[in-house]
Amino acid sequence: MAAPPEGFRYLPGLLGPDAQAALVAALRCIAGEAPLYRPAMPKSGRPFSVRMTNAGSHGWYSDKETGYGYIGRHPGTGQPWPAIPPALLALWREVSGYPADPECCLVNVYAPEARMGLHRDEDEDTFAAPVVSLSLGDSAVFRIGGPTRRGPTTSLKLHSGDVVVLAGTARLAYHGIDRILGGSSRLLPPHEWGGGGRINVTLRRVTRPPEETS
């Protein structure tokens, strides 16, 4: 088992119960305006096991024909994405150490059987900005490796309110979710989110800001 790569930061319990509940309410509003969808894998067209939506100027999306990338409007409604909630902007400013705000707030909803294979976030114009990830609801087994998919990895459990920052070498490290520990949290009501027991919120900067190129 490998040690986490340089630039990986794990901030357990950074958000308390009240802050978590407030964020779930804000995400509920986002999903009401920009409904959850299930993207498809490039080439194969196989649907993801997670459902997702976005907030911000850029929304992450994938389909069979065009592959991975960012779009400015919801693929189903054609409407612009909702704004990123102020609490998430505040979280980014607290932990990112980056001068510009995020442009994408990707919301992934995991049902108990959902997974996320090893991947790395490389669809952005800049890798100087970190990726900031927040867990809400059921705990999950998170795995992170290095710059190659087949390299050694290490795993840890992420619980509701935990935050992970991928910066430095870790910014382009392969990572994923091996399994969800269903029923480990009562934060998300079982009748909501289509049976999803975990929400992962990922904040990313997509374009290179002027201050980075000056």
Looking up residue 160, the CATH number of its domain turns out to be 2.60.120.590
User: Is there a domain that residue 138 lies in?
Assistant: yes
User: Per-residue confidence at 210, pLDDT binned at 50, 70, 90?
Assistant: confident
Residue 81, both tokens: 């994405």
CB atoms inside a 10 Å sphere around CB 46: 10
User: Is there a domain that residue 3 lies in?
Assistant: no
Report pLDDT for 1: 63
User: Is there a domain that residue 109 lies in?
Assistant: yes
Report pLDDT for 99: 95
User: Is there a domain that residue 2 lies in?
Assistant: no
**Is 70 exceeded by the pLDDT of residue 154?**
yes
Report pLDDT for 195: 81
CB atoms inside a 10 Å sphere around CB 168: 16
Longest dimension (CA), the chain: 50
Across the chain, mean pLDDT equals 95
Mean pLDDT (whole number) for 135-140: 98
User: Per-residue confidence at 13, pLDDT binned at 50, 70, 90?
Assistant: very high
User: Is there a domain that residue 133 lies in?
Assistant: yes
User: Is there a domain that residue 1 lies in?
Assistant: no
Mean pLDDT (whole number) for 141-157: 95
Q: How many domains does the chain have?
A: 1
Q: 108-146 b/e with 16+ CB inside 10 Å = b?
A: bbbbeebebebebbebbebbbbbbbbbbbbbbbebbbbb
Which has the closest alpha carbon to 209: 87, 93, 103?
103
Mean pLDDT (whole number) for 102-126: 96
Full-model pTM: 0.95
For residue 154, what are the domain limits? 8-213
C-beta of residue 155 within 8 angstroms of C-beta of residue 142? yes
User: Is there a domain that residue 166 lies in?
Assistant: yes
Report pLDDT for 213: 62
